Amino acid sequence: MRSPLAVKLVLFDLDGTVVDSAPDLAHAANLMLQELGRTEQPANRIAAWIGDGMIRLVKRALTGEINGEPDPALFARGLASFKAHYAAHLAVRTQPYPGVVDVLEQLSLQGFVLGCVTNKLETFTRALLEQLDLARYFRVVVAGDTVPARKPDPLPLRHACEQVRGRAERAVLVGDSANDVLAARAAGMHCIAVTYGYSQGRDLRALQPDRVVDSAPEVLQHLRLHD
């Protein structure tokens, strides 16, 4: 096995990396579709649409297409409906992936600085972290509307580094999507890709992240605290 990555700051994506939120996202999307009199979608199909933020998820649910653009008035109604339903079902079935809490605990005890960088809107991000008792692990949280850009743009990662006075070359992003790998590369930091999340069917190995793991506990094997 290759030598562990020497880092101080460990940033985690949220949906598909720290938590399995697909059940609640799919439920909210189908309640929205039901309210608008439209055909509901299978949960696994909605899960394949996760990763590019709430606006894109709602558009995909309304059109059934990955890059679909619904009628603006319909989208406005759909987004308001989705937000209301998701707020009411934020952590009903959403849970941390197996081993994630132990990974966060171990990294914290070892002296790593932890952060969460997600394309999820901040109001839902912080509420979800609080409801699942995960907020205490993260010194910095950068959500999809914290700064003017979202992953794969590197700005959220750079902003996270600035907030904790960290250096990108001593940081790693753990994520489940192409957005994560591309953002980390653009920000000049390491990246560990997880295979258990929402990759939209892409083989992340083709993007050449520094490491690829099949479970959260494996992350610990690939990190060494940089003094």
Domain that holds residue 39: 22-88
DSSP the chain: -PPPEEESEEEE-SBTTTEE-HHHHHHHHHHHHHHTT-----HHHHHTTTTS-HHHHHHHHHHSSTT----HHHHHHHHHHHHHHHHHTTTSS-EEPTTHHHHHHHHHHHT-EEEEE-SS-HHHHHHHHHHTT-GGG-SEEE-TTTSS--TTSSHHHHHHHHHTT--GGGEEEEESSHHHHHHHHHHT-EEEEESSS--TT--GGGG--SEEESSGGGGGGGEEE--
Across 78-104, average pLDDT: 97
If asked whether residues 127 and 205 sit together in one domain, one would say yes
Same domain, yes or no: 11 and 33: no
Given 88, 109, 143, the domain boundary residue is 88
Say if residue 111 is in the same domain as residue 64.
no
Residue 147 sits in the same domain as residue 81: no
Domain boundary among 68, 88, 108: 88
- Residue 202 has a pLDDT of 86
Residues 78 and 112 in one domain: no
Shared domain for 55 and 133, answered yes or no, is no
13 is catalytic: yes
Same domain, 121 and 157: yes
The catalytically annotated residue of 13, 15, 52, 180 is: 13
Q: Report the predicted TM-score, pTM, of the whole model to 2 decimal places.
A: 0.95
Q: Same structural domain for residues 210 and 123?
A: yes
User: Per-residue pLDDT tens for 108-157?
Assistant: 999 999 999 999 999 999 999 999 999 999 999 999 999 999 999 999 99
